[in-house]
Amino acid sequence: MDSTSPEMSIVALILHASVLVQAIMTLLLAASIFSWYVIFQKRAQLANARQLSRSFEDRFWSGMELGELFRQTSRERVREGLASLFVAGFGEYVRLRQQPNPSAEECVEAATRAMRAAQLRETERLEEHLPMMATIGSVTPYVGLFGTVWGIMHSFQGLAKVQQATLSMVAPGISEALIATAMGLFAAIPAVVAYNRYASQIGSLISQMDGFRDEFANILQRNLSTPSEGSRKIVGGDAP
């Protein structure tokens, strides 16, 4: 084995490992690749979600009639986050307003339920793959450790067949086994760091949706209960 080529040494150790240890290493490699794919995909998704939320909030609080905002938002090809809640809630509000003699409480409650359902869908979309990342972060170190224990046990079983054991005889087998632990940590550490970071960001987005849902429900309640010059204008005729 060429000591001047550590990369080839690692490859050789992997190739000479037992079948079970090789299978564990393959599993850990697949878990690591999937974890990094989710890390980059989720990073782009959450950055886009924050940008869309800021953009919609700017339009919502710009003073535009809600009916006009509803028409514009409904025509958009990409409708996520706060925009999705608004379209669901305002659409349900308008539908009930077109019914004969709707009560203010019924309109607001229906709009709130519609926004809550839309928020659940948005939360599921944002949290997609996060449970798998948590599983990778918590399980892969133990999977790697299992490969290490098995490899070391396999090496010592080989020593039982010789009369005199030396360090050079057991070192390759132990090195093969320790690679499994290293691969387990390599898969787990980025997954745990990314999971904690993204879970925090998703929590912030959910809190933002909670606040928007309550504020929008209050706007509808104020306009239905005490329409006045200070109330937020819905739309002429309450129809989109």
pLDDT at 63: 82
pTM beyond 0.95: no
Please classify residue 164 by burial: count the beta carbons closer than 10 Å to its beta carbon, then call 0-12 exposed, 13-18 middle and 19+ buried: exposed
pLDDT on residue 99: 79
Q: Quickly count: other Cβ atoms within 10 Å of residue 128's Cβ.
A: 13
Look at residue 170 in the predicted model and tell me its pLDDT: 66
Q: By CB neighbour count within 10 A (0-12 exposed, 13-18 middle, 19+ buried), where does 42 fall?
A: buried
| Segments of the chain scoring below 70 in pLDDT | 1-14, 16-17, 158-173, 225-240
pLDDT for 8 = 44
Supply the pLDDT for residue 160.
65
Residue with tokens 């060429």: 2
Q: What is the pLDDT of residues 176-215, one digit of tens each?
A: 778 888 899 999 999 999 999 999 999 999 999 999 999 9
pLDDT score of 100 = 78
CA 116 to chain centre: 19
